[in-house]
A = this chain, B = another copy of it.
Amino acid sequence: MEKKSRGRQKIAIEKIAKKKSLQVTFSKRRAGLFKKARELSTLCGAEVAVIVESPAGKVFSFGNPSVDSVIHRYETGDFCPQEDSRKKYLYSMEDLEEHKKEKAMGKSNWWEDLCVENLGLEELEESMAAMQVLRNNLLIPNLTLDQFGVL
């Protein structure tokens, strides 16, 4: 009889080349890591903090009892407070409301939707994709978001 899958394959612990595989693996293993962290803290009554930043720059965290409390314990001596904690956000709630209205009036088009919708957590990746378009199309070798001082 046919095997339905080859099952879990062994992989080398080195950077995954294929972007799609990397994305999938990142999601699965991030979930796995957080689960292990939660189990450790529950089983052993240990304080645990885990912070992960995706290749796309999204930050995920887990903490028991909280990330901050664990960090405070970790930090010894003086901690330099950030000199610049200006909030850097993209669309405001008002922007989203406005877009909803316009959409309801049948005024939207594909790229506006791409720009405005689903931007809660995904905007960074979308923006990077747009950046990649720019970079590829216009042959700007090392264009990055931070050149605009907005990130």
Quickly give the copy total for this chain: 2
Contact B45 A74 (CB under 8 A): no
**How many of chain A's residues have a CB under 8 angstroms from any CB in B?**
94
Contact A78 B82 (CB under 8 A): yes
| Residue numbers in B under 8 Å from A51 (CB-CB) | 48-50, 70-71, 73-74
Contact B150 A136 (CB under 8 A): no
Contact A85 B55 (CB under 8 A): yes
Given that A44-B26, A48-B50, A132-B111 are contacting pairs, would A17 and B82 also be in contact in the complex, using a CB cutoff of 8 Å?
no
Contact B44 A54 (CB under 8 A): yes
Shortest Cβ gap from A122 to chain B (Å): 11
Contact code string A1-41 (vs B, CB < 8 Å = 1, else 0): 00000000001011111111010011001101100110110
Per the 8 Å Cβ criterion, residues 52-74 of A in contact with B are 52-57, 59, 61, 67, 70-74
Shortest Cβ gap from A35 to chain B (Å): 10
Contact code string A115-145 (vs B, CB < 8 Å = 1, else 0): 1101100011011111111101111100111
- Can you sample 22 A-B contacts with CB below 8 Å? A17-B92, A18-B92, A18-B94, A19-B95, A29-B36, A29-B43, A33-B33, A48-B50, A49-B49, A53-B73, A55-B86, A56-B86, A78-B82, A78-B84, A78-B85, A90-B139, A91-B139, A115-B137, A127-B137, A130-B134, A138-B148, A139-B150
Q: Given A51-B70, A127-B138, 5 more contacts at CB 8 Å?
A: A25-B44, A81-B146, A89-B128, A116-B136, A118-B136
